Every structure is written in C-alpha cells, then in structure tokens.
Structure 1
Amino acid sequence: MANNEKKKGLKLYGAPWYVTIIACLLILSAMFSGALGTDMPSTFALMLAIGIPLNEIGKRLPIWNKYIGGGILLAFIGTSVIGTYNLIPETYTSSIDNFTSEINFLSFYIVVLITGSVLSLERKVLVKSFAGYFPAILGGLVGAMLLAILGGLFFGITPGEAITHYTLPIMGGGNGGGAIPLSEVYAGITGEGSEVYYSFAIIILTVGNIFAIFGAALLNKLGDAFPKLTGDGKTLIRGAEENDLADEDYTPSLGDVAAGLLIALGAYTVGLLFSNVLLPEIFGFPIHELAYMVIFVVILCALGVVPLNVRMGAKRLQSFFTKHLTLLIMVGVGVDLDLNELLAAVTLPNIVVALFIIIGAVVGSGLVGYLVGFYPIDTAVTAGLCMANRGGSGDLAVLGAANRMGLMAYAQLSSRLGGAIILVIASVLFSILL
C-alpha cells in the first residue's frame, strides 16, 4: 500500500508522473507525424519533451547520477547525440538551434540570471567578491599555461606552442569572442592566413570545453563530499552566505517579479548601448554587451538604488529560471554540439594537453581564490572552467553541470571580460613566442 502511494505521489517536472509522460508522448508523436510546428511554443514543447526524459533517466542512472553529472548533463549529451545522428527530423533540430541562438533565448536566460544573482548580494559582499575575482582569473590562466607546457613536453610540443596554440584558444572565451579574434590577431602579427590558426584553435577549444563540463560535474561532487570548500552557489566569499538577501525578509509579489524583469531588460539595453555605440572598444578590443551589463548591474547594486522589493523580485525570477528552465538551455546548447567534430579532435596530444590545461585552470584559480578569501570550488568553476569553455553556451553547460547557476554573473565576467584580457595577452605573446 505504501509503495502504491509512493508511486502515485511521484512527480516529474512538477506534475503527476502520468501527466508528464502523456504530455511528452503527445508532443513527440506530433513531431514524428509532422504536425508539430517550428514556432516558439512548438519548439518550447519539444525541448521539454526531449529534456524531461533525459533528465529523469540521468538522475536515476547508476554511477552516472552520482559521479558523472546526473540528469542535466545527460540532457546535454543526449541531445547532442540526437542532433549529431539525426534521430529526429532536421527541421526540428534546426528550430531548437534557432530558438536558442537566433531568437536568442540563451541570452535572455543569461540576462535574467545575471540580474538576479547580482541584486541578491549585499553591497559589501558584492564589492569584495568582484575585487578579488580578476586575480583568480589570472591565477587560472597562469596555472593553465604552466600545465600546458608540462603536458606538451610529453609530445615534443614547445612551450611557446603549448601556450599560443593550446592554452590561449581554450582560455580565450569561446569561439566568437575567443578563437575567431585570436586567429585575426595571429594573422596580423605573423602574416599567415587567419584560417591557419583558427582551424586548430576550434578543435582544441572543443576538446577543452568537454573537459570543462565534466570537470564541473566532478567539482560539484567534490563540494558535496567536502562542504567547507564550497558555498551556497550564489557568492564566492567564504562565510558570506548570511549576507545574502534572505527569502523571509520579504515575499515578492508578481508585480515585484515583473519589476525585476524590467530591470534585467533595461540593464541589458544599457549593455547594448555601450557595446554598439558609446564605447564598443577599449584599447582596440571589443567589449561584449553582457560584460557591460554585468558592470552596470554591479554599479546599481553597489549604489543601493534598487528597492528591496525589486531586488527580491529579480531573485525570485532568477530562481524560477534556474530551477525550471535550465533543462531547456541544456537541450538547446546540446543540439549545437557536433559529436563528429569532437571525435575528429580526439588525438592523444590534444586530449592530454587539453586535460592538463583544464586541471591547471582549476588549481590556479581555486588556489588564488582561496588566498583572497573565496571558496576554492566555486572559484575554480567560474574563474577557471568558465574561462576554459565555449563562451556563453559553455558557461551554461558548466554551471548546469556544477549546479551553480547562481554564479552566472561571475561566469560572464570570465567569458566576456576574461576573454578580452586573453586577446590583449595574445597580442603580446604572439609577438614574443612566434
């Protein structure tokens, strides 16, 4: 009797299990029959119908659920398998990709998470955490370079090549903000075609991205085993959890949530204004709108000009997105991962050197983070692995695998401003080492 009651009480994605299963089957049936459209509601429905089963399987799969990454990571990998091997009609994989990138639900998700995570911090904690963050980024970069040189020695790769061709692409902030501009800097300094550098940079970046995602899942498990090494997933500073805005201080209304959304979209607009019109470049290097947005939201929080009810509304909205829409994001970024491209990059030197770089980024950023008063695991995830992934989509995959979506603002600083720092460093190192 008790078992029957337990089965009746089982819920999937917030609904009774049979309701969720029937809904997913109906959506998938509509897709395979061609009745499902490619508009936003149809695509939204399909992403849930794919993501929910994968997530539930991943949460229950032995070994995978405890040691590899659980449901969120299986949703990411499973969707990449579906997309790579055309297990559903290409029309629908294209609609998922378009919804994530062209319609840009990806950026909308990031905008909400940045605003909620920053505005939920007290001003003193905010200032301290961002002041110590860039030393942690540099610590991760130095660690990655040192271990890249060490790994390269096993394969006859020179220290200069280990840094310029392996470390910089992986730590450069992704493809659009990293590998592509890096290849242009390379071409300008060496006189060779940019494609010479880019063709290898994108390969090693892809390998590093996968290691970063799995590394995040392992760090999450390490945090479970050693709680003193990690915080609450919202701030980096050790012992600062009590300074977070507590839910019991104020219960936000739906109007407060709407106001939080307005602040988020307004801050993003300011980022666009600076990135496209007012100050698109600093010292000749482009600054991404999300980097400007982070800076603007940090200033708003530091000045204390956003009322408590709006801050709590932004936090409540972020909480909803983190708990219930992360699954959509993992499906969206997963369908964009071409496993054939990844398999083509699987050579022993690439694997070993990329793995050494990821380990160096984790150790370097975590160590410096600890020295400046941060939790080493949270710092390693954001200042280390979010520097070593594939930009915005990589940030989401890494934070999802690490179960730390509340650290999105720091992750974006790594990918956006950290990527710009890499471009500056690359322009010097290319001249010296090539």
Structure 2
Amino acid sequence: MPPDSPAPDSPPPAAAAWWRIMDLRIGIVPAPVAILGAAVAAAFVRLGAAPSDILMNIVVLAIGGFVCAEIGKRTPGLKNLGLAAILATFLPSYLVYAHLLPKDLVKSISAFTDNSNFLYLFIAAIIVGSILGMDRRVLISGFLKIFVPLAAGSVVATAVGCAVGTALGLGLQHTFFKVVAPIMAGGVGEGAIPLTIGYAQFSHQPQGELFAEVLPAVMLGSLTAILFAGVLNAAGKRWPSLTGEGRLQPGEVDDEPFASPEAPRAPVSAVDVGAALVMAVTLYLVGALTQKLWNWPGPVVMLALAVAMKFGRVASPRLERGAFANFQFFSTAVTYPLLFAIGVAKTPWEKLLGAFNLPTLTTIVVTVATLMGTGFAVARWVKLYPIDAAIVTACHSGQGGTGDVAILTAGNRMQLMPFAQIATRIGGAIMVTLTLIAFARLGGG
C-alpha cells in the first residue's frame, strides 16, 4: 500500500470534513441540526400551525436555550457571573415583550410549559438523583445544619430590608408586606399568590391588584440572587477554601454506588436509567397526591421520601446509579431549555419594569445581599462551606422552583437542589404564615 493512501477503515475526506461540522455544537445541539430545526420551526410558524407538543418544543427550547447560554458563556468579563442563566431566562422574556418572538411560537411554548409539568419532571429528576448520589453519612446533618444560616439570614434580611426601605421613604408596612416578605415567600405559585389572597381577605382589596404590586419584588429578588450566585461562583474559583464546589460541608465524599471497592466503575445501563426516572416521577406523584389530600407541599414530600430511601438503603445501587445518571443528564441537557421556557411563559418583562424605581430596587438588592451575606457568615459556625451555604440561602429569595433552577445554574451547583427546595418551600411557607399573621394583627396592613 502506498504510504500516502488512507487506512482501509478510514472515512473518505468529505465524510470526515462533514463530521467535523456536525461536531460543532451550540450547547449540546449540533450546529447543522440547530439551523435545520430553526428553519423547520419557522416554516410551521409561517403556516400558522406551530404545535405545542413535546416534539416541537424539544427543538425550539433546546435551540433557544443553548443559544442564549452560549452568548452568556462567551461574553468577556461577565461569563463567570451567571450570565448564561440570566440570558436564558430574561432574554426570551424581553423578546416576548418586544414582540420579537412570533406569537404562534410563544403560544406553543407557553401551552407546553403550562400543561406538561416540564418543570416538575426536571425537579423530580434533579432532587432524587442528587440525593441518591449524596454521601449518606452526612445527608441528614446537612439538612439540619442548613436551617441555621437560613433562619439567621431570614431574620437579619427582614430587619435590614425594612430599615432601608423605611429610610428611603417607602414606609415600614409597605416595605415589609409589599417588598421584603414577597421576596422570601417562596416564589409565585407558593408565595406571592397565597400571600396576596390573604392580603385581599383581610384588607378587602382586589387580589389581582395586590398580586401585580408584589410580583416585581419576587422577580427582581430572584434576578438579584441569580447575579450574586454567579459572583459567589467566581469567588469560589479565587478562594477555593470557601467552597465545596457543590458539596455543602467538609468531609462529603461520593457514596458507595459510585466509589466503593465492590463497584468502582459500575456501568449504568439504559434499563437502570429508565427505572430510576419512573421511580423519581412516582415519588413526585406521591407528593402531588398528598398536596391534594392534605395540602402538604408536594415537592417537600418528594424530597423527604427520597431522603428516607437513601437513609434506609431502599434503592439498590443499580437504581442509585441510574438516578444519578438522570441527574447528570437533566442538569446538562435540560437546564437551559427549561430556563428559556420559563422566560417565555412565566417571566413577564413588564412586571420587572414595575419595580425599577431607586428606593424599591435598593431595598430588594439590600435584602437579598443581607440574606446571602448572613448565610455566608453563619455557615462557618455549623461547619458548612460559606459559598455553598450562601447560594442555598439565596434560593429563599428565588422565584420558586424556577428561581432555584436559575440560581443554582448561575452558581454552577445544581447538586444542591435538595437543600434549595428546603430554603424555598419550607422557608417560604414559614414566611407566608408569619406575614399573614402580622398583616391580620395590623388590621389589613
């Protein structure tokens, strides 16, 4: 064989060149596939027949989410501050507001997001996968310890936020009930809505008007937490002793299914991944059922069941490996498409603009900064990593489950989702309850 001739099994030069093009990625999406998918979606929109099913939305959300994320990751000076998560969430929100996204596409994404429970499939896979992949020996202590920075942060942030808002002329009652409490109430569905329903009952004002009044604080509080989580992630690169890079406390190691001598590199089969996903969704449905029957918070019930399974060794090592593989897949491939969907369907840009006055904006930023700063300072007392504890504490000021996803993505710590849910769900429920008690005692604010 001549020395310059190709090996018998080597591809033709044209095929090799094309494969290099196919391996160019926008996030996880091959560039030629992104171009073709965008063209096909545009054709459906042109025909006025954009479906709202999972097939269309896999393509549209993947392209939109990863394009936004890639812009954020490649922006000099800001790429390490969570800009990818911010753009994936808020750029599509602006595009909807400016009528730069076709109406048929917006309807398709909104209908899919509202009807598919896409968000809770993601949260179920992330929570169950991260818990079953967590070190069992420190799991329970981590859940107990995180309440210390969370409680301290909530108390100090409330006091400082109210003091700043009052000093800036907003008034103590307005600052607490319309700005500070909504920030830490647990988001929109679990926080702002029940909070304003209670306000309406006690004050006899229209709930819709009250909701519109508090929503900007919820959304801008979440945006502030996303920005600060990105800053903390960058700080962790500069001062590695302050962070566990997604581990909440020193001494955490991978648990037996991933690091034991018996199965150091045990493969994960497609069957195990599928079985673990069905298990995760079943735990979510159990939580949803308890919420229907007894009004218990469904995600917290799901979280408690996953912890019980881990602590009691209920799931086999094969199922734990499958659950952890689901966590890795969803955190890598689904996060940015989900954030894009949230931006289109659940983040009204005009509501963000409603809080852009200096006193309200300053109060929001100071409240979130104090919440996270206190969590950072207190973490050392209970032997937690300050940066990771502060990012979890930040989720108390997030926009519910959607805020948790964005904050942890900006902080590059998706494995902290179980603790984030504690901050959001339990912390938010406590804040709503105490706020409504105070509102009632003051005769409707």
Relative to structure 1, is the Cα distance of residues 193 and 26 closer, same or farther in structure 2, using a 3 angstrom cutoff?
closer
Asked if 2 retains the 8 angstrom alpha-carbon contact of 1:232 and 1:241, the reply is: no
For residues 189 and 417 of structure 1, the distance between their equivalents in structure 2, rounded to whole angstroms, comes to: 24
SS in 2 for 1:86: coil
Asked if 1 retains the 8 angstrom alpha-carbon contact of 2:41 and 2:60, the reply is: yes
Q: Could you tell me which residue of structure 1 aligns to residue 423 of structure 2?
A: 414
Return 303-312 or 242-251, whichever deviates more. Answer: 242-251
Relative to structure 1, is the Cα distance of residues 242 and 111 closer, same or farther in structure 2, using a 3 angstrom cutoff?
closer
**1:1-400 alignment, distance < 5 Å:** 10-14=24-28, 17=31, 19-34=32-47, 36-66=50-80, 68-190=81-203, 194-195=207-208, 197-233=210-246, 235-243=247-255, 246=258, 248-277=264-293, 279-280=294-295, 287-335=296-344, 336-382=346-392, 384-400=393-409
SS in 2 for 1:246: helix
Q: Which amino acid aligns with 1:239?
A: G
SS in 1 for 2:383: coil
For residues 28 and 337 of structure 2, the distance between their equivalents in structure 1, rounded to whole angstroms, comes to: 15
Asked if 2 retains the 8 angstrom alpha-carbon contact of 1:361 and 1:385, the reply is: yes
Superposed CA offset, 1:8-34 (max 9, x none): 6644344654x3443344335424533
After TM superposition, the score normalised by the length of structure 2 is 0.87
RMSD over aligned Cα, in angstroms?
A: 2.5
Superposed CA offset, 1:46-86 (max 9, x none): 112222322222222222323x4243332222212222212
For residues 257 and 270 of structure 2, the distance between their equivalents in structure 1, rounded to whole angstroms, comes to: 18
For residues 84 and 329 of structure 2, the distance between their equivalents in structure 1, rounded to whole angstroms, comes to: 18
Relative to structure 1, is the Cα distance of residues 197 and 312 closer, same or farther in structure 2, using a 3 angstrom cutoff?
same
Q: Could you tell me which residue of structure 1 aligns to residue 4 of structure 2?
A: none
Q: Which amino acid aligns with 1:312?
A: R
Relative to structure 1, is the Cα distance of residues 186 and 38 closer, same or farther in structure 2, using a 3 angstrom cutoff?
closer
Q: Offset at 1:329?
A: 0.7
For residues 428 and 354 of structure 2, the distance between their equivalents in structure 1, rounded to whole angstroms, comes to: 26
For residues 332 and 52 of structure 1, the distance between their equivalents in structure 2, rounded to whole angstroms, comes to: 12
SS in 2 for 1:387: helix
Matched-pair identity in %:
29
Q: Could you tell me which residue of structure 1 aligns to residue 13 of structure 2?
A: none
SS in 2 for 1:173: coil
Q: Could you tell me which residue of structure 2 aligns to residue 283 of structure 1?
A: none
Q: Offset at 1:217?
A: 1.7
Asked if 1 retains the 8 angstrom alpha-carbon contact of 2:215 and 2:351, the reply is: no
For residues 16 and 205 of structure 1, the distance between their equivalents in structure 2, rounded to whole angstroms, comes to: 36
Relative to structure 1, is the Cα distance of residues 166 and 36 closer, same or farther in structure 2, using a 3 angstrom cutoff?
closer
SS in 2 for 1:232: coil
For residues 36 and 208 of structure 2, the distance between their equivalents in structure 1, rounded to whole angstroms, comes to: 47
For residues 243 and 225 of structure 2, the distance between their equivalents in structure 1, rounded to whole angstroms, comes to: 18
Larger radius of gyration: 2
Superposed CA offset, 1:157-179 (max 9, x none): 44454333321111000122111
Q: Offset at 1:264?
A: 0.4
For residues 99 and 407 of structure 1, the distance between their equivalents in structure 2, rounded to whole angstroms, comes to: 27
Asked if 2 retains the 8 angstrom alpha-carbon contact of 1:143 and 1:365, the reply is: no
SS in 1 for 2:362: helix
Asked if 2 retains the 8 angstrom alpha-carbon contact of 1:333 and 1:397, the reply is: no
After TM superposition, the score normalised by the length of structure 1 is 0.89
Relative to structure 1, is the Cα distance of residues 38 and 189 closer, same or farther in structure 2, using a 3 angstrom cutoff?
closer
Q: Which amino acid aligns with 2:280?
A: A
Asked if 2 retains the 8 angstrom alpha-carbon contact of 1:13 and 1:20, the reply is: no
Asked if 2 retains the 8 angstrom alpha-carbon contact of 1:207 and 1:346, the reply is: no
Relative to structure 1, is the Cα distance of residues 405 and 244 closer, same or farther in structure 2, using a 3 angstrom cutoff?
farther
For residues 166 and 15 of structure 1, the distance between their equivalents in structure 2, rounded to whole angstroms, comes to: 40
Q: Offset at 1:36?
A: 4.4
Q: Offset at 1:110?
A: 0.6
Structure 1 gap segments, 5+ residues each? 281-286
For residues 189 and 38 of structure 1, the distance between their equivalents in structure 2, rounded to whole angstroms, comes to: 40
